[in-house]
Amino acid sequence: MLAGVSGESNLLNEERRRAILAMVRRDGRVLVNTVAERFGVSPVTARNDLLALHKRGLVQRVHGGAISVGFTAADPALRQKAALHGREKAAIAQAAAKLVQAGETIVLDSGSTTMEIAKQLRKITPLTVVTNAVNIAETLAGSEVEVVLTGGTLRENSFSLVGPLAEETLAQLNADRLFLGVDGIDTLRGVTTPNLLEAKVNRVMISIAREVVVVSDSSKFGRRSLCHIAPLRALHRLITDRGIPPADLKRLREAGVEVTLV
């Protein structure tokens, strides 16, 4: 059946939907307006196409468009993240702390897993911790750990400091090790986060660290968030739990990433 309104595409519905699906798989997402313009259909028809693909489990319908299955644009608050996978995060934090030697300089990214690491690092002295997370700085306050807070603009969702000031401060420093929390790990694309400013700060952190360690529970595998941080080749080590999909574990090791399972 041809598209039903004047001026709309002569493509069959199913052919058009296959083309839309290819766009989503290529770009991770597509907007209703983009579909309407690309195929010369009305926004109503575009929404119906996306809904049809959603009902078949091929895309995830979101406000204004659709995203690929396994892709998320969500940016949950830190309190929400902290309530999930607590046992795994605690075990990851203990394994991470075992890598740290007294006298080192450690960079801690913002996040619920890195917060657990901060609790473990209070026991190691002397130690310098550089962080862009005000809650992590507060956790380390009162211990013998020297804390360097980056400065920057506060993101209340994550209690993190971002923007040019945070990036410039980090760029002047050197560190032994970075513990990086992420929101998505796609072993074909790399690690991702929902926020563009967070991603930029994370890339500077990677550039100043001698060793880059991603800390993440296994629920993050197979997910791709909005903003790309770095490819697998930028990582040295990853600490996760034993729920990691075997195919992802194999790809990580083939990429030269040392994987620690807890």
Domain ranges of the chain: 13-69, 78-261
Please name the CATH architecture into which domain 13-69 falls. Orthogonal Bundle (1.10)
Query: Which residues of the chain fall short of a pLDDT of 70?
Result: 1-11, 70-84
The sign of the torsion formed by the CA atoms of 200, 205, 210, 213 equals negative
pTM over 0.85: no
What is the pLDDT at residue 6?
39
- From the list 241, 246, 247, the residue with the least C-alpha distance to 220 is 241
What is the pLDDT at residue 7?
42
What is the pLDDT at residue 62?
75
Phi-psi region of 145 (alpha: psi -120 to 50; beta: other; left: phi over 0): beta
Fold classified for 78-261: Rossmann fold (3.40.50)
Tell me how many degrees the CA angle 134-139-143 measures, rounded to the nearest 5.
125
Give the separation between CA 11 and CA 17, rounded to whole angstroms: 9
3-state helix, strand, coil in the chain (%, to 5): 40, 25, 35
Q: Beta strands of 86-226 (E only): which ranges?
A: 105-108, 128-131, 146-149, 153-155, 160-162, 175-181, 184-186, 190-193, 209-215, 224-225
What is the pLDDT at residue 68?
76
Give the model confidence (pLDDT) of 82-114 as tens digits: 656 789 999 999 999 999 999 999 999 999 999
What is the pLDDT at residue 9?
45
